[in-house]
Amino acid sequence: MEYRRLGSSGMYVSEIAYGNWITHGSQVESEAAIKCVRTAYDLGVTTFDTADVYAGTKAESVLGRALKGIRRESYELFTKVYWPTGPGKNDRGLSRKHIIESCNASLKRLNTDHIDLYQMHRFDYETPLEESLSAFDDLIRSGKVHYIGFSEWNAEQISQALKIQDAKGYNRFVSSQPQYSALWRVIESEVVPLSKKEGIGQIVWSPMAQGVLTGKYLPGKKPPTGSRATDKKSGAGMISNWLREEVLTAVQNLAPIAKDADLTIGQLAIAWVLQNPNVSSAIMGATKPSQVKENVKASGVKLSTDQMKAIDKALGSLPNTDPSATKSPNPRA
């Protein structure tokens, strides 16, 4: 495992992070999830990402149990706030009330006294941005949070927040958590250049496009039994956007490129996002330890210019590069 600095901060993160968005608390049993976390840690993964909303708050609890007994200083713990975590009108969004209450609840579920990186899970159009930023700054000053970031914000929203942070003397964002893969490149034209300039690192999710970039979904054939595409609890709706014949055919064209690099197609997909120097870490998910062992092999891989060009040629015009595809809904609607 290799490690990179998170943006311009002094904290290092593992190139491969372990995320429990869909798996923990819903798709796999608690004991299996704990085995995956422990395997990841044993293989050098020190960065663990979750969110209060995952599995209706259960995912944080599972991760907290999985990390119990491990020296707290030896890993980086990330979580997020924004999506609804209860039925109340204030159980969502980025109001000061919800941010502080959600942070305290996350600390209890994660069985820790601090969060290494606390992230705004989307942009809140209802709450004054200064209110949200002030609450995040207070959490840092209280010692409950070490660093702050955001997920799925566009360049205009990032710039707006940084101006307020600088004007008010608030602690600055150090991270962005966007979807990013060889098929989903919407951050490249605006978010990445701004982030490089402002010292913000990318912690990318879905580097394998919900599993499509593993090559296991074949054109003209039904999805494998037990795969994400067949499990309505584990993102079948989202992955369906990629299960088009032209996409599946193009992904199979990556096989010889992967073989040339002595990688699986999935490892190639993770290695591809790590070639972007603004990416600090790529988040992987896993339902069994064997998947963890396979995915971490993408760390440290250096793809040649010819291999990167070959990937672009194989995928053709399929990747989405439109920056306007980064959107935040209204969590209170």
Q: How far apart are CA 333 and CA 122, in angstroms?
A: 14
Angle at 28 between CA 207 and CA 20, to 5 degrees: 40
Q: In the structure encoding, which two tokens stand for residue 126, read together?
A: 């209802």
Taking a C-beta distance cutoff of 8 angstroms, is the pair 242, 211 a contact? no
Q: How far apart are CA 73 and CA 50, in angstroms?
A: 18
Is 147 catalytic? The answer is no
The conformation of residue 296, written as its DSSP 8-state character, comes to: G
Q: How far apart are CA 63 and CA 262, in angstroms?
A: 32
Taking a C-beta distance cutoff of 8 angstroms, is the pair 182, 311 a contact? yes
Q: Which uninterrupted H or E stretch holds 244? A: none
Which residues make Cβ contacts (< 8 Å) with residue 120, sequence separation at least 6?
80, 81, 82, 94, 132, 136, 148, 149, 150, 151, 153
18, 41, 54, 75: the catalytic one is: 54
Q: Which residues are catalytic?
A: 54
